[in-house]
Amino acid sequence: MSTVSPLVPQPTSHPGWHGAWHTVWHAGVVLLGDLVVLGAAFFAYAAYQNAFRALFFRGDDVSSAAGVEDALLLVVVAGLTWLVLARWPTSLGTALWLAVPTAVVLLAVGIWASPTTMLAIGIGAAAVGVVDAVLLLAGRPWEQVLSITWVAVILLVLALTGTEI
């Protein structure tokens, strides 16, 4: 006679492995997915710049377009970020999306503080630290914190190596 009831869930042979693989899987998706999302975002930004300038600015007067197109881009990214965070607050896709506003903000800081790279790095690091702390205190998923921190590290390495984006 068996003492195992079919109605009672039975422990698996390695209960900790499922959680570990789940964590590794999500971390891998965030680390690699952020690279793909950043690549797609930079490509989309280049296409957006070309289309915006072709539609609204003719000839050599492109320098006056920079402020308008960047402001429009910030509004669109902020709106999409609000929508994504409100609609899917804990999804893995939200963590991947956070790569875009993180890159936009950090690049804007870098452009603003252009002559002094260390000032941009300091302000960017402080902003990332504050946002990560707020996310952790709010109980947001760790994948979101990882995504923001990973993008900051990628952009830091690009800034320190002098790589142009």
Per-domain residue ranges for the chain? 25-161
Q: Which residue numbers in the chain have pLDDT < 70?
A: 1-18, 58-66, 165
35 CB-side CA count, 13 A = 6
C-alpha distances out from residue 157 to 29, 122, 130, 150, Å: 21, 14, 20, 11
Which of these, 77, 109, 49, lies nearest to 57 by C-alpha position? 49
How far apart (Å, rounded) are the C-alpha atoms in residues 10 and 89?
32
Residue 71 has a pLDDT of 82
Residue 144 has a pLDDT of 96
Q: Taking the model in full, what pTM does it have?
A: 0.79
Torsion-angle region of 59 (φ positive above 0: left; ψ -120 to 50: alpha; else: beta): left
pLDDT averaged over every residue in the chain: 85
Residue 56 has a pLDDT of 73
Residue 165 has a pLDDT of 67
Residue 5 has a pLDDT of 55
